[in-house]
Amino acid sequence: MLSDLIGELPQLLVNGLVAGTILALPAIGFTAIYAVLRFPNFAIASHATMGAYAGYVANVWLGLPVIPSLLAAFVVPALSGMACDEVVLKPLRRTGPLTAAIAAVALTIALENVIRFVFGNDLRGYDLPVWRDWRFDLGFAVLRVGPQQVENAAISVAVMAMVFLFLAFTRTGKMMRAVADNPMLAGIKGINADTVARLGSFMGMGLVGVGGMLLGLDTSIDPLTGFRAVLSVFAAAVVGGLGSIPGAVVGAAVVGVGEELSLLVLDASYRTAVGFLAIVVVLLVRPRGILGERAF
Amino acid sequence: MENYLVAMAVFAGLYGLMALGLNVIWGMAGMINLGLVGFMAVGAYTSALLTVRHATWPIPLGILAAVLVTATAGALVARITARMRGDYLAIVTLGFSEVVRLVAANEIRFTNGTDGISAIPGPWRGEVAPATFNLIFLGLTALAVLVVYLVCQRIRHSPYGRVLRAIRDDDQVTAVAGKPVLRFKTEAFAVGAAITGFAGALYGHYNAYIAPEGFVPLITIYVVLALTAGGTGTNAGAVVGAVLVVAFMEGTRFVVAAIPGLAAVQIAAVREFLIAALLILLLRVRPQGLFPERHIRHPVPDPR
């Protein structure tokens, strides 16, 4: 029994870390939008799906390889996120963040149905080269790693590195951090909050879209792809501290590994419930999340 | 056609109940609840499990149990999140409804999984003609709406309701005024959840069949739409809004079906899109609804 457990553990840890790395992108997107606009934008669900389908169109219909397809998965949801925020959510934020949150749920249902209208409910798969899994014998356990998993994780790490460099060293990145930290002070220093808000939506939804496509690369996509992942994304953001970007990365790792380790004791279909449990535990024990709410 | 209209009237009543429940939570106490459908599911499953699958309790007892269980669930959710800002409540309630659906779909031995529960008893079902059963149930639903409406009106006009509205407008000031804000919030959430669970239980007994995929977030949107259309904060608005939403939903069924060349999945997509778009439009154009909440001023006794 115990040796079975030890034998399974390395595989689950590796799977969990890979899942957490991919989860980190939409979690960063969600938390970044929260940091700048101060409301939970539930439209991430449909934008993750949108990213997955934009990548699908580029990859399967236009025959592009994965990396350029990911660019489509970034740009389409990024533009949509910016436009939707400008037209739909921004006027409602004045009424209060909760009204905007309700409208965001309606928005995500509306967009999901636009996707359903065009593509139908069928499962679709990407056009990917088929690789054999790598096997490692650790002595006490055998580890199987798919090259696609590794590639997805590497892409995710590369995108995260770009996000951090952008926020740390560019003028625009510093502006975004300033607004997240203290909007009033940023305004006094002459930073245009509207520009930063648009940038936040653009970047945030773009990252969510890339995350959606990476989630789909592993399996297949349908109009509910984003919605199914959304609980894990919330969990990652809340566990790390809503509004904190490094927190989202830590939270995603915790949730990713936690979901995999839960397989030892729970049925696989309860994986997403683990995210909810993580939210509740963190809210009870450490309401500001692991890294607190500082944006960066 | 008559049966269809009666069925729609029953559904309007059920949505009206849920809108009344949401009005206590969101309209009066100002707490967001994006997981209404989760409480509806808890109510529906509690009553169904107790009247057909695991026991053969009489229907009223099953419904009573559903009300108690959902009230407890609501109080728990409110308690966990009460000290936090509304954003967290939004996330937790949305997550709650998803977890309820997961449990219902996966605890196969307990809930029969995605196959759902069938043959849920209804009052005098089988003893009378189906059309008569429909009418009986419509009467019961109307009675339920009336009773809950009166209770909600009572809450709204009582000092209790005044405290809830004060919490909605500014909970710090209310706390300074010496009101136990946490207790009021928890109770309001529990009452609202209980009403929603009550509607869920009725739904199960009317439909005779419930399944996890029947409890999707879109239903929460219907209810929010009903309350927003009618006028957040007013009980009459909640009921009228529910009737309008059901009429609109059913209207789109005929209008969209008349567009030539659409596949079934596309028709469904257009209808769901219209509902969501209508809510966004309403929030934008007329957030106060058809019957805006008026401030109730009680006459000051003449000092002379």
**Other residues' Cβ atoms within 10 Å of the Cβ of residue B94:** 26
Residue B143 lies in a domain: yes
Residue B165 lies in a domain: yes
Asked whether A68 and A208 are in contact (CB, 8 A), the reply is no
Supply the range of the domain harboring residue A246.
2-124+143-285
Give the DSSP H/E element, type plus range, for residue A142: strand A142-145
Asked whether A21 and A150 are in contact (CB, 8 A), the reply is no
> Where does A38-134 have alpha helices with state H?
44-56, 66-84, 90-93, 97-119
- Residue in chain B closest to A270 (alpha carbons) equals B102
Asked whether B199 and B18 are in contact (CB, 8 A), the reply is yes
Name the minimum distance, in Å, from the CA of A170 to any CA of chain B: 30
Name the minimum distance, in Å, from the CA of A141 to any CA of chain B: 30
Q: For B113, which DSSP code? A: G
Residue A110 lies in a domain: yes
Tokens coding B54: 């695991």
Residue B256 lies in a domain: no
The mean predicted confidence, pLDDT, of chain B is 91
For residue A38, is it left (φ>0), alpha (ψ between -120 and 50) or beta? Answer: left
Tell me the one-letter amino acid at A279.
I
Tokens coding B270: 């257009």
Supply the range of the domain harboring residue B68.
2-215
Nearest neighbour of B80 by CB, restricted to A103, A113, A283: A283
Residue A231 lies in a domain: yes
Residue B238 lies in a domain: no
For residue A137, the cross-strand partners are A142
Residue A130 lies in a domain: no
Name the minimum distance, in Å, from the CA of A198 to any CA of chain B: 20
Quick check: A113 and B81 CB within 8 A? no
Q: What is the pLDDT along chain B (304 residues), one digit of tens a residue?
A: 788 999 999 999 999 999 999 999 999 999 989 999 999 999 999 999 999 988 889 999 999 999 999 999 999 999 888 777 778 888 889 899 999 999 999 888 888 988 999 989 999 888 888 889 999 999 999 999 999 999 999 999 999 999 999 999 888 899 999 999 999 999 999 999 999 999 999 999 999 999 999 999 889 989 999 999 998 889 999 999 999 999 998 998 888 888 888 888 999 999 999 999 999 999 988 888 888 887 666 666 766 6
CA–CA distance, B61 with B302 (Å, rounded to integer): 50
Residue A273 lies in a domain: yes
Ranges in chain A, pLDDT < 50: none
Largest CA distance in chain B: 75
Using an 8 Å CB-CB cutoff, list chain A residues near B218: 109
pLDDT digits (tens, 9 = 90+) for A60-86: 999 999 999 999 999 999 999 999 999
Domain count, chain A: 1
Name the minimum distance, in Å, from the CA of A91 to any CA of chain B: 7
What global pTM score does this model have? 0.89
Asked whether A226 and A44 are in contact (CB, 8 A), the reply is yes
Q: Which residues of A touch B (CB under 8 A)?
A: 34, 39-40, 42, 88, 91-92, 95, 97-99, 101-103, 105-107, 109-110, 113-114, 116-117, 120-121, 231, 234-235, 238, 242, 267, 269-270, 272-273, 275-276, 279-280, 283-284, 287
Q: Which of B33, B76, B92, B99 to mutate to test the interface with A (most CBs of A within 10 A)?
A: B99
pLDDT digits (tens, 9 = 90+) for B38-93: 999 999 999 999 999 888 899 999 999 999 999 999 999 998 887 777 788 888 89
Taking chain A, what is the end-to-end CA distance rounded to the nearest angstrom?
44
CA–CA distance, B98 with A77 (Å, rounded to integer): 24
CA–CA distance, A148 with A144 (Å, rounded to integer): 12
Asked whether A209 and A54 are in contact (CB, 8 A), the reply is yes
Residue B10 lies in a domain: yes
CATH label of the domain that carries residue A192? 1.10.3470
CA–CA distance, A10 with A21 (Å, rounded to integer): 16
Domain count, chain B: 1
Residue B302 lies in a domain: no
